[in-house]
Amino acid sequence: MTGDTTTAPPRTEPSHGVQRRGRGLPTVAVAGEAPAVPRGWSAATMIGAAVLLAVWLLVAVAWHLTQGTADLDLASLWAIVTGEGTSQGAAVIAESRVPRLLAALVVGSALGASGATMQAVARNPLASPDTTAVNAGAHLAVTIAAVLGATLSPFAGVGVAFIGGLAGAAVVIALSSGRDASPIRLVLAGSAITLGVSSITSALLLVFPWRTQNLFAWGAGSLAQNGSQTVLSLAPIVIAGIAAIIVFGRRLDLLQLGDDAARSLGVNVGATRVTFIVLSVLLAATAVALTGPIGFIGLCAPVLMRVLARWVRPMRRHRVLVAMSAVAGIALVLTADVVLRAVVPGGSQVTIPTGVVTALIGAIFLIALAQTVRTGVSSEAIAAMRAGTRLGRRAPGLIIAASGVMLAAVAVAGALLGDSPLLLGDVGNWLKGVASVHVQIVLETRIPRVFAAVLAGACLAVAGCLVQTVTRNPLADPGVLGISGAAGLGAVAVIVTAPEVGFVQTLLGALAGAGVGALIVFVLGSGRGAGPARTVLVGVGTGAGAGALTTLLIVRTDPFNQTMAITWLGGSTYGAFLEHQLPMVAALALAGIVLSRTSRDLDLVQFDDTTPRTLGIDLGRTQVLHIAIAVVLTAVATASVGVISFVGLVAPHAARLMIGKRHATVLPLAAVLGAVLVGVADLIGRTVIAPAQLPAGLVTAVIGTPYFVWLLWRMRTRR
C-alpha cells in the first residue's frame, strides 16, 4: 500500500479523538475527509501548489534582502546579482543580509520538517517542537552549558541541545500517550513541562547574568548572525536529516494505518517511531543551537500544508508533505522576519527576535486548532475526582485551623530568615520601636515581602478554585489559562510606555490585560461541543501570544529595565511596600463577602449545567460573576508581585483532597494553602542562594510542574 491509500486509515485503533467537523482545520488522522479530487487533476494541482509556494518563497527572499539600514532596492539587488552593483552594496549583502537569510533557510526548513514528522509519528495535529517541550528542553540545555562556562563549537551546541530536547520530548510523549491519548492532552503535558523548564531557565538567567548575557533575546529566537560560517557548518545536518525522513517517508504513510496494520505490512513500529522522533528532535535541536527557539513554525507549516493537501492528492504522501512543510517553514520564518523589520524602524529591528512574530502566529493557530479537536477530558472531571479525607469531612474547621497555624509559622520564618537571620527578640524589639538600625532596615524590607507573598498566594488560590469550579476543569489555573500572562502584559505595557508609572497605573494595566485575556479564553474556549480542556488550550495560545508581546516590549527597553522586568515577571516580592498590598486585601475581603453568599451555588455549578438551572440558579450570571472575581484577584496579585503560575492549580486540589468539595470550606482552605505555598516559595527564593535571590514565581513553577504532571498522569490512567 502506498500513496493515496494511506490517507484514510481503517479504524484498527483509536484515532486520537479527532472530531469530524466538516471543513475545519484537518488533522493527521482524517485527511481522507478531503473533497474528492479527480486523479487527472493530481499532477496539475501539485504543480500549482508548488508554484504558489515557490512564488511565496521567492517574494519573501527578495523582500528580505532589500531590508536593512543600507538603502538597497530591488534594482540594486538585481544589479549586484548580475555583477553590475557597487562593491559597498555587495559587501552589505554578503556580510549582513545573506547570513540572516541563510539562517532563515536552515531553521525554517528544519522546524517545518520536524513538525510534520512529529505530527505523523504521533498522528496528532498539535505535535511540534514547541508543544512537545523539545525547544524548551534544548534551550535549558544550552543555558546550562553557558552557566558552566563551556565554550561550545557549533556541533557541540547541537549535541547539547539535542540531549535537552530529547529529554523534554520523552517526558511529554510518556504523559500524553496511552488509551486516553488526545491531541490536547499532548499540549497540556507539553505546556506544563515547558513552563517548568522555562522557569529553571529564567532562574539561571537571573542568577548568572554575566555568563548568560544576551541569552534572553536569543531565547526568543533571533536570526542575527556573525557571518555565515556557523550556518554553513550546521546546514549539512539539516539537509541530511530531512533527506533521511523523505527517503523513509513511506513508513510514515504506513504508520497512519494503525500499529496492527503497519506491523502486518512489515513495519517495525517501535523502531520506526523512535527513529523518526530522533530525527525530528535533531532537526529542532539544530535550529535551537543556531538561532534559539523560534516558536511554532513546526506547528504552523505542516498545518498549512495539510490544509493544501485536502485538494492536492500527492501531498498526502509524507515524502511530499515533509518536503513541502520544510519549504513552508522557510517561507513562514522569512515572512515573519520581513514583517518584523518592516514594522520596527531603524536599528531596533536587529535586536528584536523573529520568534516574537512566529509566537504570535502560533498562538492564533493554537486557538484555531482548539476548535477542531476533541479535548480528551470529561466535562465531569471535577465531579469525578476523589475529594476529602475522613477527618476532613468530619471536622473541616480543624483542618483549616491547622493550616492557619502552618501559615503563621511560615510568616514568622519568612520574617526571621534571609541573607541576614534574625531572632524573635529582634522582632519584638522592632515592634516596640527599640530595635537596632540594622534590624529595623531588614524588617522594614522583609515584612512587606512576607505580606505580599501570602496575600498573592491567597488571591491566586481563590481565583484558581473559582475558575476550576465554574468551568468544571481540573486543569484550570490563571497561569495555565494565560490570564496571569495577559495581566503581566498589561502591566509591562504601562511600565514601558508611560513616562512616569506608579503602582495605580500598573494595577490598572494588569486589570485591563487580565480582563482581555479572560474574555479571549472563555469566549473562544467555550461553545457547542467544547470540553473543559479546550479552554486550557485556548488559554495556552493566549498565554503564548501575551508572552510574545511581553518579550517584544522587554527587548526594546534598556538592559537595566530588562533585568528588572524579567525579575518581576518571574513573580518577585522584591521591593514590595505595605501600601501596595491594600488592593489585595480589599479584593480578598470583597471576594469573601460575595462568596460567602454564593458558595452554595458553586457547590451545584461544579457538577453540571442542569442541576443549578433546575434549582433556579442563573447559570450564565453565576459564571460571569465568579470569573470576574477571579480576574480581579489575579490582576491585583500580578500587579503586586508579578506573574506566578500553578498556585491556582495546586492549592484548590490540595484543599479538595483534604476536606471535600463544599465551597464554604474549600475556598478558605485553598486561600490558606495558597498563601503557604507562595510564602514558602518566597522564603526558599530568599535563602537558598543568599545573598542572591530567586523570584517566588519561579520556585512555585518548579514545585507546581511535578504536581501538574502527576495530575495529568492520574487523569491518563483513570478509566
Q: Say whether both 197 and 304 belong to one domain.
A: yes
- Residues 189 and 276 grouped into a single domain: yes
Is 545 in a helix, a strand, or coil? Answer: helix
Low-confidence ranges of the chain (pLDDT < 70): 1-43, 67-96, 178-184, 213-214, 216-217, 344-351, 373-389, 498-501, 526-533, 557-568, 714-719
| C-alpha–C-alpha distance, residues 510 and 117, integer Å | 40
Q: Contact at 8 Å (CB) between 511 and 358?
A: no
Bond from prior residue into 691 cis (ω within 30 degrees of 0): yes
Q: What is the pLDDT of residues 160-203, one digit of tens each?
A: 999 999 999 988 888 777 665 666 677 777 877 887 788 788 77
In a domain, 145, yes or no: yes
Cα 686 to the chain's mean position, in Å?
Answer: 26
Residues 407 and 521 in one domain: yes
**Domain membership flag for residue 30:** no
> Looking at the structure, do residues 361 and 426 belong to the same domain, yes or no?
no
Last residue of a domain, one of 305, 340, 369: 369
Do 307 and 389 belong to one domain?
no
Distance CA 713, CA 715 (A): 5
Based on the domain organization, do 363 and 475 belong to the same domain?
A: no
Is 639 domain-assigned? Answer: yes
- Residue 505 has a pLDDT of 83
Whether 306 and 427 map to the same domain: the answer is no
How many domains is the chain built from?
2
Say how many C-beta atoms besides its own lie within 10 A of residue 684's C-beta.
18
> What dihedral do alpha carbons 257, 259, 264, 268 form, nearest 10°?
120
Q: Give the number of C-alpha atoms closer than 13 A to the C-alpha of residue 321, restricted to the C-beta side.
A: 36
- Examine the domain organization and report whether 490 and 584 are in the same domain: yes
pLDDT of residue 138: 92
The pLDDT tens digits of the residues spanning 346-378 come to 555 566 788 888 888 888 888 887 777 655 544
For residue 419, what are the contacts with CB-CB under 8 A and spacing of at least 6? Answer: 686, 687, 690, 691
Nearest to 476 by CA among 379, 595, 583: 379
CATH number at residue 673: 1.10.3470.10
Pair (432, 344) in one structural domain: no
- Is 265 in the same domain as 326? yes
Q: Residue 376 domain-assigned?
A: no
Measured CA to CA, the distance from residue 47 to residue 487 in angstroms comes to 47
- What pLDDT score does 16 carry? 38
Which pLDDT value is given to residue 75?
Answer: 60
- Cα 290-293-295 angle, rounded to 5 deg: 135
State residue 13's pLDDT score.
Answer: 39
The pLDDT tens digits of the residues spanning 667-698 come to 999 999 999 999 999 999 888 877 777 788 88
Is 377 a domain residue?
no
Type of residue at 253: D
**396 and 332 share one domain:** no
206 is a domain residue = yes
Short-list 509, 487, 488, CA closest to 498:
509
The CA distance from 197 to 192, in Å, is 9
**Per the domain annotation, does 160 fall within a domain?**
yes
Question: How high is the pLDDT of residue 409?
Answer: 94
Supply the pLDDT for residue 285.
93
Do the domain assignments include residue 27?
no
Do residues 361 and 461 share a domain? no
Show the domain range for 692: 384-717
Which one of 338, 369, 400 terminates a domain? Answer: 369
Which of 309, 340, 369 is the last residue before a domain boundary?
Answer: 369
Cα-Cα-Cα-Cα dihedral of 125, 129, 132, 137, to 10°? Answer: 180
